Structure 1
Amino acid sequence: MTDPDVGAIMGFSGFGKKARTFDLEAIFEQTRRTAIERSRKVLEEERSVERPYEPTSCAGRSGSPSRKGHTGDSTRSPGDSESGCDDTDNESEKSGPTLPSQMCRLDVEGESPVGPPLPLGYGKQQCETDEEDDEEEEDDEDENPLKRIPDSHEITLTHGKKTVSALGLDPSGARLVSGGYDYEVKLWDFAGMDASLQAFRSLQPCECHQIKSLQYSSTGDVILCVAGSAQAKVLDRDGFQGHTAMLNSGVWHPKIKEEFVTCSNDGTVRTWDMNTEKKHKSIFKPRSVQGKRVIPTTCVYSRDGKLIAAACQDGSIQIWDRNLNVHTKFHNRQAHVPGSDTSCLSFSYDGNTLASRGGDDTIKSWDMRNFRNPLNVASGLPNIFPMTDCCFSPDDKLLVTGTSVKRGQENGKLVFFHRETFQKLYEIEVTDASVIRCLWHPKLNQIMVGTGNGLAKVYYHPVKSQRGAKLCVVKTKRKAKQSQTVTQEYVITPHALPMFREPRQKSTRKQLEKDRLDPVKSHKPEPPVSGPGRGGRVGTHGGTLSSFIVKNIALDKTDDSNPREAILRHAKEAEQNPYWVAPAYVKTQPHAVFATPEAEEEVEDDEPEWKKRKL
């Protein structure tokens, strides 16, 4: 397919300016021929000026009669065939005075001057030397293409341990992008790298798909990433989609459910539409006094959704009309200390006041009708988190914020100020950590607080608050239901016969429901029998004959005073009528050998020291 066809299918007009191609061999050959023709013209001009006599010409030259040269045989040089001369007569060796160097070209070209004969090969040797000099000059003028290969030095960029399957370089040559089978895409900035040669960013834009192709656009601002997935992705110059840096804040539009706004470290505030997720709806760019880019730390919509406010790292608060993103409608360059991160902006419910929680340990209120100076300022409120909240009460009379502390030293507080006078009215010691997030819900009339030690607390009033936490505190804690059946391991035997196959294991709940319908399994166990027993059931201990025997004989605890005597009283009977032990030793040991104290002492003396018992 041609380029116009491909462009028509993909939906764009063309691939840009087509790169020029060069045939180096043809260029060098044309240059060589041009140099030869130029040298011939120069020699012909010098010959016509300096030659004092008329040379003989070859057939077809100037119409003069052809000469067969000097007498004798002569070997033609390669230059003869190039000049078109074809002398077939042999020329003999010549002798005589030397000719000027300009005349040797005539001999090579097949023309012999009139005069004394020349030595054989004189002109040939001299002209070969001149041709070599000409070739060296041509080589110096037209460099050898092999010498243009830049392979004298190298560096190694370690992408990973798997195949590097894609490489791309931006048009300016400042950045290289690499992709591989490890799903990683790495970006290398030659100007920003040091000797460690580390990539400045590594990401997985296509998750678990191998990267197939990476290519910068003609302007170098976006990268086309083709992977093993069914969808190609377009990344910006830094490898991100949408915002090109970390996001700092984002809120929904109060009136339009599909729209929200975000701010990022790339120095932009962008609005987005849920229906067009691939591209932002509009973009706002905060600027400093010098017109440079500044980073917004937080952003918010006004209550009616007509204004977008953002606080920046240079201490400014900038407000735009939602439909006009070029110039700010309100701005204050010195709202907070430059370099501090303003953590929150909050509009009052009437829309006339804006509250800002600064990273300079202050909270300020601003009148939207006069945005030059703050209405009220409260200081001494530590803030070490870039997302500490401030909010208005549902009746619009109070302003609430949290304070930050070092863990274990003090208690974080929730502080309440009067909106008009900024007088501290009340404070709550929440926990021994910082109070970061605070939310006062207008319908529930409850305050949700997030702390730095992983807690989320909800403050409410049993009468003034509605629903929310009140719904769950009145419910008793459910007891964990203990399983009444013991589950057994289920062995799956798919190829076993039906008679040997175990029944399919069911869930505990279904098994309990099935057992409840079984009259045998759901029968209540009978209590133990008390007394002598009835109905064929055994009574308590001692009520039957077996229990009586166990009690009086088997469990008889009578103990003989001397167990040796109790055993030896059966020795005479065992000797006269052996039944158990003696028959087993009739063949091997007919006469019993018993241990004596003397024999034991001898055995102990023969044993090594480490085998003797320790007394």
Structure 2
Amino acid sequence: MNKKKIAFGKISVNFAQNAKVIESTDTIEKFGPKVIETLEEDDTESQQMKDVMGISSFGKKAKSFDVQAMVEQVKKTAREITKPAAIDPKSTNEEESSQSSDDEDDFIGPPIPKEILEAQETKEDTTKTTKAGKSNDDDDEEASSDDEEDDKETFIPCSHEVSMVHGSKAVTAMSCDPSGARLASGSVDYEVSFWDFAGMDSSMRSFRTLQPCDNHPIRSLHYSGTGDLLLVVSGAAQAKVIDRDGFEKLETVKGDMYLSDQARTLGHTSSLLAGAWSPVSREEFLTTSSDGTARSWDIYKGGKAHKELIKCRAQNGLKTAPTACCYNRDGRVFGFGCADGSLQLWDLRRSTVSPSSLCRNAHQPVEITSICYSHVGEHLVTRSMDDTMKLWDLRYFKKSINEVKDLFSRYDMTDAIFSPDDRMVVTCTSLKKGEKTGYLLLYDSGTFQLRRKLEVGNSHVIKTIWHPKLNQIFVGTGNGIVKCFYDEKRSMRGATLCAAKTQRKVQHTEVISTQQVITPHALPLFRQERRKTSRKQMEKDRLDPLKSKRPDLPITSGQGGRVASSGGTLSSFVIRNLGLSKRVDDDQDPREAILKYAKEAEENPYWITPAYSKSQPKNAPKKDEDEPESKKQKQ
């Protein structure tokens, strides 16, 4: 077959009208200026191509395209996509001029160039800044928006509140389980109340109340990490662990109070002061006592002996009572606030003889009421009876970072806690003489500036809990009321479940009382038996051997395993065996047996008659009964 040479013709848009036929030649023509010249000559074709594709020709001159046409086309497509409300003509002119001044790039297609978008953003920013600098109202709006952002960061759920009545005395202990389903409250009236939010209605009544520690006030309550066990610390020397329904699971042993060395006793010898549950272990909990010791316990040992023992010492070497305690977030360090005003941190991985960190003059030598680690674990907040609250950095434990004074506290269980995000520190105050309102105070954890002051009621405020899942604040007061602060939008479950529930009405069963008709002459089947008198009933019971408890009757011969009384006595047995006399018949009447010898005794007296023969009076002669009554002497 003959191979033909390839020939090229002229490229055109409308091939039917503008195409010219080029005769084929034997030699291959080269690409070069000839083709370009022919393309430049045809202006109509280049114009059509420019309208359609935006380029005038192929080759090196493809870079030289009309930028203005491209910008207009891009604007049209952008307007169709975004459809803005209005576009300033000034901004469009400025954009066109800036676009024309930019460098040319190899670009073909409809997307918007980056330079145009960047220029528009910079111009919008400059116009905003100039307008904001001219007007003062805009500055105020920006400041208010910043304040709103700060409020969002440190949000306080306090738009609504509900009250739960525990009793008439001060609520000194509270604890909420990790899931937020139940709340336990304890008081100085020896009672512990359980509150189930899912089962309560708007009446806010506890579903169970008990006295787990007899007549001892409740000082501390703590749920375990799983929420199935509750630690009860009271004024007794023995702590108790109960389940969710109030049944006792464990009671710690009491130590020997006559031993001076506390290490030789198995438990506390004096009243308990505080307690805490391990945040990482379900089996371990901690208790402190006024005997100067703190002991950790394991529930699998049954409370028969402590697991670890810590002796807190004052500066003079004598024992001091740890009045507040807590675990750190990983459960490895014990924190104690003592009655001498010192803070002691014990790491059992290092030593049990001396604390790992110590600050002797943390507070004045009075009881420390609360000690709490932050959620991050780098800070520590303490509350004391010297009316102060202090923030400590664990990396520099010699001096407090911040301090708040004039916080009056009447109870040695007053709380100080961190908010769930560690941005705020929450504490409460008691009523001074002449005051009528107790407050819940919220401070910024960084600067210790007062952020919020909530009025709780006309009583002391003692305990507080800020639950992280519920985003609700529970407060225990001195008049026996537990208050809950929450927000309808940002708080979940908890009190929001029962606050909107209507109180259930007790459905009384309808009972129709039938009138009783007495018919004395009715049939015996329908006749009612009247109650007999007590005398007749007693006589009837007397005849019943079971009701009258009649003793067994004597028997003549053996019956039913019983032996006859004849011959069964000791005397009859001795007489029968020794042969002193004849067989004695025990069944014979004793009177008849004696009168049997009366005739023989009269005829042959031997003992009694001869003794009274001289002094015995003679019997008077019998009178005849036939004599008339007139001759008989009057007696």
User: What's the TM-score, normalizing by structure 1?
Assistant: 0.41
**Greater relative CO (CA pairs within 8 A, separation 6+):** 2
